[in-house]
Amino acid sequence: MTFTLGLNLHHDTSACVVGEGQLFAAEEERWSRIKHNRVDREQSFSYPAESVGFCLDAAGVSPEQIDSIWLASMEPKDA
């Protein structure tokens, strides 16, 4: 099976795992209890480690089984 890990490292840091026709997703603020999971006054965001772990567990896969990783971009890029 093919599994993809998706990461949002911007507003509302989060993760998802897609595979076998299913989607498992979570926002990091559910664990950190910090709105939008901001880590300092400059409003930078932290890596969604707990969300990644939750999604991998929910999907029943290990990190080694992830075939690709996609990152969300907040700014459009010219092609």
Among 13-17, 26-30, 64-68, the minimum mean pLDDT is found in 26-30
Task: Check whether 63 has a pLDDT greater than 90.
Answer: yes
Closest CA to 73 of 27, 6, 10: 10
Q: Are the C-beta atoms of residues 65 and 24 closer than 8 Å to each other?
A: no
Look up the pTM and report it.
Answer: 0.79
pLDDT of residue 47: 81
Closest CA to 46 of 1, 4, 12: 12
Given pLDDT bands bounded at 50, 70 and 90, which one contains residue 51? very high
Task: Check whether 78 has a pLDDT greater than 70.
Answer: no
